[in-house]
Structure 1
């Protein structure tokens, strides 16, 4: 990678060089025109919590791994065989709220200011760092009036439903209530991001799980009829989702359903109906495996319901996760290796913290693939915002603010091989916060991927690391010293990305001034 190549990516001066891109744009415009003439599709988004890239039996990587063999997710395998699999898909952040709000708005967390997970509107959830202070950020999360995906679908005549984890806004704010963000129906969604318990016998509450009495902010709301029953939260939420889909028999409107099971977020609690499959695993890992299988069974119920109601040919189904898999606290065995070959996990700048499963399946009438297709193009969960709007032929309002950073994946989903005419783009991540756990890459950072190169800019120092993901997916060999030209170019690109998105860097604890910028760091590199 060098500066000349970067400039040629940004601008082509001859018509011959621009022709493939123009043809790609023309093909997309034709596709959108055709979509506008079709009946609007239903949309089901299945957004799993803390599910890692390796936490499934379907291999998103080039090889079947120990973890792929450990877990049982036959319904995801089935969905993948009938859809488009994005092998290099990413969350917008290594923690939940920033990714979930980026999905809802299409805007990067750095741009919205929602750079960390929310809970209380007047209290920062960041852990203190010995040398850095995180910059001001949007503690309250989203708010009523923000332009959101469900609001746009609702305006277009859709019935919009949220089931499960929300975590879009802090407790007591408008963003904590999905019905104030564009969802017509909200079941079990509120401000906090984790469930008190997965068991109905605990009333899905934190204190009852510990043998105590009284309410807790973590108690899952709206499921009182299941209190005291021997039921599992993921299965209850699947029941609710299926019931909402069945309402389409009486309601002629197309539906947009966002099903976000609290699984597989902590607390790690087994579903006993599946434990017999995992007797060879340590208890904590066996419990985790049952949570994954329960989640997959919920996906299967949704797929079967769509088939039963003859809605498969009218529905787009998306399967995604909000960040990498948990691999620090709460898991069994050696920490930070549960996403191998990826390094580290949730909360980390490394691939284990941000690379996630992503599958999109839908009807052929929308031009989507009916057979398994693996796409290695790096994409982001925030790309779902413009993608789903494109598939439903819904326009993004010109007054949308902040800007949409997501890019429509329509060209990657349709049979024509137009994606090769699209220039490679850079993907950035920004979390100027210290997460609660400790481990590799779990510290304030800003990072950037272009092509196979990935730059990590750790705010403490600052320090830089450079990896070639094509040859070193596990990020084991820092190439910053071996490739100074690549390092310099990516530092400059990262600095430009920071300015475009309005990302605020961490502050030095002593001086209370922002840390050295990537451009300043690049200027100090030896020639």
Structure 2
């Protein structure tokens, strides 16, 4: 068993560097622990909302109706450069552990024990990554053993609620059940990352009423089987009931509201679907837009409940997506355009695959209608939520890579200045498209370098000047390529990251900086 690592919050409020988060704040910490609502959407793109995260409202923003996201943005802070990973399980593992995906090695999506989901490739052999996902025990091979975020919150007085998609441990492992990972309550969470159906009339993908059918049937919502209710609404009702129950414990709550939507299958939320058909949307995009609005209604229902019951003033709300919006398949319209002005979508190393809609509200602390243009990454939520909860000195079995963004929330400083962000995907996702492949990536200030393992090629973009990543500037700036490739290679070696091999020779593919020698 690994020796626990002692972690102390390093954010010294008031002593940090200048932040790019705009509008001053006057809020100070309260002695009472806040409730924390983390609202995570599955596969929601940066543009799948009427809230503009670019400098201006875009045509894609005008496709969607998300009044409750607008409401949350008006009451809190909007982050324009929040990052996750390009597919779901790596993001969710980073959130729960504070580790970068290169370190925790859950680098692709998980499902069945000891089984890789990597698509076949004619050139590359993929490494033996942690296909069994996240575990709170150290006895499962090909898994990451970690002290989880909800476990630390639970141990420090929180009533911890999981609602919706889990997708941490593979089927047949303890980590498939959120109750083994520090949650007091599990609502509808298991090993799978999508439902077979969102419709209560179809038993949420189970074979028959009252039956749990692996892998895609959603567990634990049998009382809604046969009803006309949508899964998103059913989860919201159950989440509210769990919060209500928590009030009898005398503890603050941590609600991880993790929706299955807007992941495929694209099925209409019947409350909103017809209006998008009436607007002339094609069938798939009408379904998708109705799912987005159903998600937004869930957010509104939770916010209304908090306000009605006097809980809103001491509840932090964090809104995030787990990867870029789906655009490579199963959507209406032109592929790889649904996240424009960003390039590509889910599964891609380009911005469309990793940049997420993010909002935060904390009454009395976060300035209303403020905007933060500093960048952050998904593993930063781990130390941030612990700091918000007042958990200052804690032990973990894993090394924490994330940095608390509380200074950005309070506009007292930033963790972005002088910091590099890293992505590592030594795997192959099933779809194809721009930026989709076996890559490692670094963002350093305005510059972003992508290294392609199959070809040894580099792509260099200036994100400030070229948000859509249309102009590869590697040939123009070999000195920047060299600098960033060295940083990327050094980082990957430092965390013992895995690499694919060449099938023909059996040799491990070179590190990002080795092609420069």
Question: Does the pair score TM above 0.5?
Answer: yes
Cα distance between partner residues in 1 of 2:383 and 2:192: 27
Cα distance between partner residues in 2 of 1:395 and 1:119: 34
Q: Offset at 1:402?
A: 2.1
Partner of 1:391: 388
Structure 1 residue 362 and structure 2 residue 393: aligned? no
Structure 1 residue 380 and structure 2 residue 377: aligned? yes
More helix by share: 1
Distance 1:487 1:191, change over 3 A: same
The 5 Å alignment of 1:83-482 reads 83-91=76-84, 93-145=85-137, 146-205=146-205, 215-279=213-277, 280-364=280-364, 368-398=365-395, 400-416=396-412, 418-419=413-414, 423-482=417-476
Partner of 2:69: 76
Cα distance between partner residues in 2 of 1:222 and 1:451: 45
Cα distance between partner residues in 2 of 1:294 and 1:319: 15
Distance 1:204 1:518, change over 3 A: same
Q: Offset at 1:373?
A: 1.3
Q: Offset at 1:214?
A: 9.3
Q: Offset at 1:207?
A: 5.8
Partner of 2:141: none
Q: Offset at 1:353?
A: 0.6
Q: Secondary structure at the match of 2:360?
A: strand
8 Å CA contact retained: 1:111, 1:402:
no
Of 370-379 and 337-346, the range deviating more from structure 2: 370-379
Partner of 2:22: none
Q: Secondary structure at the match of 1:447?
A: strand
Q: Offset at 1:251?
A: 2.2
Cα distance between partner residues in 1 of 2:461 and 2:513: 19
Cα distance between partner residues in 2 of 1:147 and 1:270: 38
More strand by share: 2
Deviations, residues 313-362 of structure 1 (Å, cap 9, x unaligned): 11100000000000011111211111111111101111111000111111
8 Å CA contact retained: 1:97, 1:117:
yes
8 Å CA contact retained: 1:199, 1:233:
yes
Gaps of 5+ in 2: 1-11, 20-24, 138-145
Distance 1:489 1:161, change over 3 A: same
Cα distance between partner residues in 1 of 2:152 and 2:186: 17
Q: Offset at 1:430?
A: 0.6
8 Å CA contact retained: 2:78, 2:369:
yes
Cα distance between partner residues in 2 of 1:452 and 1:197: 41
Cα distance between partner residues in 2 of 1:509 and 1:208: 45
Q: Offset at 1:44?
A: 0.5
Cα distance between partner residues in 1 of 2:293 and 2:334: 22
Partner of 2:140: none
Partner of 1:500: 494
8 Å CA contact retained: 1:161, 1:256:
yes
TM-score by length of 1: 0.89
8 Å CA contact retained: 1:424, 1:451:
yes
Q: Secondary structure at the match of 1:87?
A: strand
Cα distance between partner residues in 1 of 2:58 and 2:230: 29
Cα distance between partner residues in 2 of 1:453 and 1:475: 11
Q: Offset at 1:250?
A: 2.0
Structure 1 residue 41 and structure 2 residue 41: aligned? no
Q: Secondary structure at the match of 2:434?
A: coil
CA RMSD of aligned residues (A): 2.1
Count of residue pairs brought into register by the alignment:
488
Cα distance between partner residues in 2 of 1:426 and 1:401: 24
TM-score by length of 2: 0.91
Cα distance between partner residues in 1 of 2:382 and 2:99: 9
Structure of higher RCO (CA pairs closer than 8 Å, 6+ residues apart): 2
8 Å CA contact retained: 1:195, 1:206:
no
Q: Secondary structure at the match of 1:163?
A: strand
Gaps of 5+ in 1: 1-19
Cα distance between partner residues in 1 of 2:457 and 2:257: 39
8 Å CA contact retained: 1:314, 1:362:
yes
